[in-house]
Amino acid sequence: QKEVEQDPGPLSVPEGAIVSLNCTYSNSAFQYFMWYRQYSRKGPELLMYTYSSGNKEDGRFTAQVDKSSKYISLFIRDSQPSDSATYLCAINNFGNEKLTFGTGTRLTIIP
């Protein structure tokens, strides 16, 4: 079983829609949860990180963590064509500093 599972998509939604991106993980020891955005042929860009169950909001982005279900989500409100990218979840065990990534979900926002 992979440590982090992520639906690879691709996912296409119309502009303005709410997007939901999800990952599951297997090791309950993981403590930090990150979301990265990667445009084609670029390095990943850190969007958000959180370390507790619940929601964390930053503008149009909301990260949600449910540690009891080992489930993390990223919601994008009022999606824009510029949001079209691959979204990667990553998890970390404090003190290890190695990030374990999901395979990424390719998202396309249709104007």
Note whether 70 and 3 are within 8 A (CB).
Answer: no
Handedness of CA 91, 81, 20, 54 (dihedral sign): positive
C-alpha 104/C-alpha 8 separation (Å) is 6
Q: Which stretch binds other proteins (CB under 8 A): 10-18, 60-68, 74-82, 92-100?
A: 92-100
User: Nearer Cβ to other proteins, position 37 or 83?
Assistant: 37
Q: Considering the complex, what minimum distance in angstroms separates the CB of residue 75 from other proteins?
A: 21
Handedness of CA 37, 83, 76, 20 (dihedral sign): negative
User: Nearer Cβ to other proteins, position 44 or 83?
Assistant: 44
Closest among 12, 10, 14, 11 to 111, alpha carbons compared: 14
Note whether 25 and 3 are within 8 A (CB).
Answer: yes
User: Nearer Cβ to other proteins, position 62 or 93?
Assistant: 93
Which residues in the 13-72 window bind other proteins by CB under 8 A? 31-32, 34, 36, 41-46, 49, 51
Q: Considering the complex, what minimum distance in angstroms separates the CB of residue 48 from other proteins?
A: 10
Give the residues lining the site for other proteins (CB under 8 A): 31-32, 34, 36, 41-46, 49, 51, 88, 90, 92, 94-104
